[in-house]
Amino acid sequence: MPEPHPPSRASGLDRHAQRFLELKQELLDVGYFCKGTVLERKMKCGQPGCACHTDPAKRHGPYWEWTYKLNGKTVHVQLTAEAGPIYQTASRQHRQLKLALARLERLSRAALKSLARKVQPPHNRSPG
């Protein structure tokens, strides 16, 4: 029976390639997305005698607001009660997409480093 081979740089690259494909697959599951923050708020009104001023449970709303940056400016968009949860999910999707891209970038850097070492002539390799 042949002896198992010690791990090589090629197997390290194979590991990187496999993980890269897995992370790319996550991107296929991303739905519609939007950057920014979506909040559901309950507000006090301008009527001093209204119960909303003394009882937080009686505040008006919920009101949905989407806030994001565009060309360095903050944009506020009032959303309907029906649209609020849709945009809130899309905002979460954007954060998940950013995390997935960050993981892909870290993995890519590691794979590129391994590739560069593999093709670099032995006399030009630096220790470490």
What digits encode the pLDDT tens for the residues 82-123?
A: 999 999 999 999 999 999 999 999 999 988 888 888 887 766
Q: Which residues of 100-109 are buried (b: 16+ CB within 10 A; e: fewer)?
A: beeebeebee
**Which residues on adjacent β-strands are paired with residue 40?**
64
What digits encode the pLDDT tens for the residues 2-15?
A: 454 444 444 656 88
For the whole model, what pTM was predicted? Answer: 0.69
